[in-house]
Each structure stands twice: as structure tokens, then as C-alpha cells.
């Protein structure tokens, strides 16, 4: 036997000494796992579903998360709130910027996955991935600035200082856009993270692979376990459970299908969750995630902040 330049084994013909091409092999299709509490568990249900590309080609298998997986993810997110919210704003910005650095290192993998998932040609997919990385950097840069924009020193007719200070809401459930597998996801995931919230994220149902690759980036970055928890599966099974969970403080319903929207908002109203949603006039399938003016918005960070007013006596 001899080894060719790519490490594959080629057999030498016994009659003339020429090397034959290596036999074709069966590709090992990856089964992607969930991301909960900084670990990669399989769904407790043991279920999975086939993920196909835009052209119908089978790409991989993804876990089909269950109600218990949602509860486990929320529990992990709640446990991580004090540590993440307690970091300085500058440190959160540094941690999130590190995520962008690691995404840059996996750029080619993201390009291939976005192209397959969304049916894009390579130049277009590369532009989408570049914009996703740039958008992550843009939001990371707001970590130590958003309090200056939203906070205030309020005039009062008394010998007191009166300050308004933005604080994170807590655990935020995010239903990622269905059609934009990476850029839309980053655009909705980064805003609650920047201000100190932790997140339970439901990925695109049909196009989850770029999101799961992002979890591998998060696991090797400085983001503490439990700050971001990612679930793959069927939205009709997972969205109502996430919306009804009493330990979820806020909900981003951007990617909730129209058929589930009313039910989801009713569940969220039962325990007075803070709610962020796209306008009913916005068609999620046609929304232009490449439009920086529409997607790079401090208001999207403010949607997951609570305003706290503090009185302090003026010393003499």
C-alpha cells in the first residue's frame, strides 16, 4: 500500500505497480446536540429529526428537544444570571467581542452551512456571514454605552440625587427567525446578551445548523456556561412551553409562526412577561437582515432592560 498526498490509502496494482485511486467512502453524517449550561447533551426524549438543505439534500440530524429540555435550559439560564449580570459592562463587551473573533476563525464553515441552509451562492453566503460577525461586534460595542444613553440624572425639588439606571430583565426566551439561519439569529441574540440577560434560544426549525455551530463557538469562548442555551426542534412543541414558563422574564417572539402568535402572547401575559415582537406589518420571510439601519438598533437592547430609579441624599 502507498499513501497519497491527502493521507488516503491507495492500493498498488500487483501487475504493473501503478497506484489505484482510493475506494469511495460513506460520509459520516453528524448528529448535532443541544447546548444547555455550557454542555452538549442529547435530548432527554432521545428523538432527532433530519435537517435538509434548501435543495432537499440531507445535511445532518438535529435533536428534537422536549418540554424537559426547555425546563433544563431555563434552569441553567436562571443560575447564570447573577454572574453574567454582575460583570462590568466593559467585561461583557470584551467577552462578546471574543465570540466574534472565534466566528471569524470558523468563517468558511459558517459560509458552507449558510449556503446549504438558505440556498445561497458562495459570494452571497460569505457576505451574510461577514455581516453576522460585524453585527456581533457592533452590539458588543454597546455593552458599556447603553446605560449612558438610557440612564439619566433627574431633576427633583428636594435635596436628593435621583438617578434612572437600566438593569437586565433576567432570563430571556428568544425564538430565532426561521428564514435567516445566522444573520437573523445574531441580530436577535446579541441585544439581550449585551445588557446582562441570559438567553434560552429556539433555533430555526428547518435551518438550525449555523446556530448549532455558533454554540461550538460559544463553548470555546469566554461566555460562561448557561448564559446562552440553544434548543433545536419543532416550534409547535417548544414555543408554548417556553412562553408559559414562569421563570422566563421576557420573550422575543420574532420567529414565532403566525399560527402560534396569539396563543404565545396569551401564555406570556399570564405571568406578565416583557414581550418583544416584530410588527404585524413586517413579513419575517421577506425582512432584509442585511439592512443595517433596520437591524442595528439600540432599541433592540432596550427592549430587555428594566429602568430602576434610585434616590440618594445629597451630602453636605
Return the pLDDT at 21: 53
Return the pLDDT at 272: 94
Grid cell listed for 29: 453524517
Return the pLDDT at 25: 78
- pLDDT of 1 strictly over 70: no
- Residue 18 — very low, low, confident or very high, per pLDDT cuts 50/70/90? low
Return the pLDDT at 314: 85
For CA atoms 21, 24, 25, 27, the dihedral sign is positive
Helix (H), strand (E), coil (C) string for 268-289: HHHCCCEEECCCCCCCHHHCCC
Identify the weakest region by mean pLDDT among 13-17, 122-126, 148-152, 191-195. Answer: 13-17
- φ/ψ of 312, rounded to 5, equals -140, 130
Q: In the predicted model, what is the mean pLDDT of residues 296-312?
A: 93
Q: In the predicted model, what is the mean pLDDT of residues 183-197?
A: 97
Q: In the predicted model, what is the mean pLDDT of residues 19-36?
A: 76
Domain ranges of the chain: 33-313
- pLDDT of 49 strictly over 60: yes
Return the pLDDT at 23: 64
Q: Report how far residue 193's alpha carbon sits from residue 208's, in angstroms, rounded to the nearest whole number.
A: 20
Return the pLDDT at 2: 45
Mean pLDDT, the chain, as a whole number? 91
- pLDDT of 35 strictly over 80: yes
Domain 33-313 has CATH 3.10.20.600: no
Question: What is the percent of the chain where pLDDT is above 70?
Answer: 92
- For the stretch 70-125, pLDDT in tens is 999 999 999 999 999 999 999 999 999 999 999 999 999 999 999 999 999 999 99
| Reported pTM | 0.88
Q: In the predicted model, what is the mean pLDDT of residues 163-190?
A: 95
Q: In the predicted model, what is the mean pLDDT of residues 260-286?
A: 90
Return the pLDDT at 4: 47
Q: Would you list the DSSP string of 102-151? A: HHHHTHHHHHHHHHHHHT--HHHHHHHHHHHHHHHHHHHTTTTTHHHHH-
Which residues make Cβ contacts (< 8 Å) with residue 236, sequence separation at least 6?
A: 257, 260
Residue 49 DSSP one-character state: E
- Residue 22 — very low, low, confident or very high, per pLDDT cuts 50/70/90? low
- φ/ψ of 39, rounded to 5, equals -120, 170
For the chain, how are helix, strand and coil distributed in percent, rounded to 5?
40, 20, 40
- Residue 312 — very low, low, confident or very high, per pLDDT cuts 50/70/90? confident
Grid cell listed for 275: 414581550
- pLDDT of 64 strictly over 80: yes
- For the stretch 210-262, pLDDT in tens is 999 999 999 999 999 999 999 999 999 999 999 999 999 999 999 998 899 99
Count how many residues are written for the chain: 316
Amino acid at each position: 500500500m502507498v499513501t497519497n498526498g491527502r493521507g488516503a490509502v491507495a492500493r498498488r496494482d500487483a501487475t504493473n505497480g501503478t497506484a489505484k485511486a482510493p475506494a469511495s467512502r460513506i460520509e459520516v453524517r453528524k448528529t448535532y446536540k443541544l447546548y444547555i449550561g455550557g454542555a452538549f447533551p442529547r435530548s432527554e426524549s432521545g428523538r432527532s429529526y433530519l435537517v435538509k438543505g434548501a435543495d432537499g439534500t440531507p445535511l445532518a440530524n438535529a435533536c428534537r428537544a422536549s418540554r424537559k429540555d426547555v425546563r433544563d435550559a431555563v434552569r441553567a439560564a436562571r443560575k447564570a444570571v447573577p454572574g453574567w449580570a454582575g460583570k462590568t459592562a466593559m467585561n461583557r463587551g470584551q467577552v462578546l467581542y471574543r465570540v466574534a473573533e472565534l466566528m471569524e476563525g470558523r468563517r468558511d464553515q459558517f459560509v458552507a452551512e449558510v449556503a446549504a441552509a438558505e440556498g445561497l451562492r458562495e459570494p452571497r453566503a460569505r457576505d451574510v456571514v461577514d455581516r453576522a460577525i460585524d453585527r456581533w461586534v457592533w452590539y458588543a460595542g454597546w455593552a458599556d454605552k447603553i446605560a449612558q444613553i438610557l440612564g439619566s440624572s433627574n431633576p427633583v425639588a428636594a435635596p436628593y440625587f435621583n438617578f434612572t439606571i437600566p438593569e437586565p430583565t433576567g432570563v430571556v426566551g428568544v425564538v430565532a427567525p426561521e428564514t435567516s439561519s445566522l444573520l437573523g439569529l445574531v441580530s436577535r441574540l446579541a441585544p439581550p446578551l449585551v445588557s446582562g440577560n441570559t438567553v434560552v434560544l429556539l433555533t430555526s426549525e428547518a435551518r438550525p445548523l449555523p446556530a448549532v455551530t455558533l454554540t461550538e463557538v460559544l463553548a470555546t469562548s469566554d461566555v460562561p456556561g448557561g448564559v446562552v442555551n440553544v434548543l433545536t426542534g419543532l416550534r409547535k412543541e417548544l414555543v408554548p412551553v417556553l412562553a408559559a414558563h414562569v421563570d422566563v422574564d421576557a420573550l422575543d417572539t420574532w420567529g414565532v409562526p403566525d399560527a402560534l402568535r396569539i396563543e404565545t402572547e396569551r401564555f406570556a401575559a399570564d405571568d406578565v412577561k416583557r414581550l418583544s415582537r416584530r410588527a404585524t406589518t413586517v413579513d419575517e420571510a421577506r425582512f432584509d437582515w442585511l439592512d443595517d439601519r433596520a437591524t442595528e438598533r439600540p432599541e433592540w437592547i432596550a427592549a430587555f432592560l428594566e429602568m430602576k430609579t434610585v434616590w440618594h441624599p445629597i451630602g453636605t
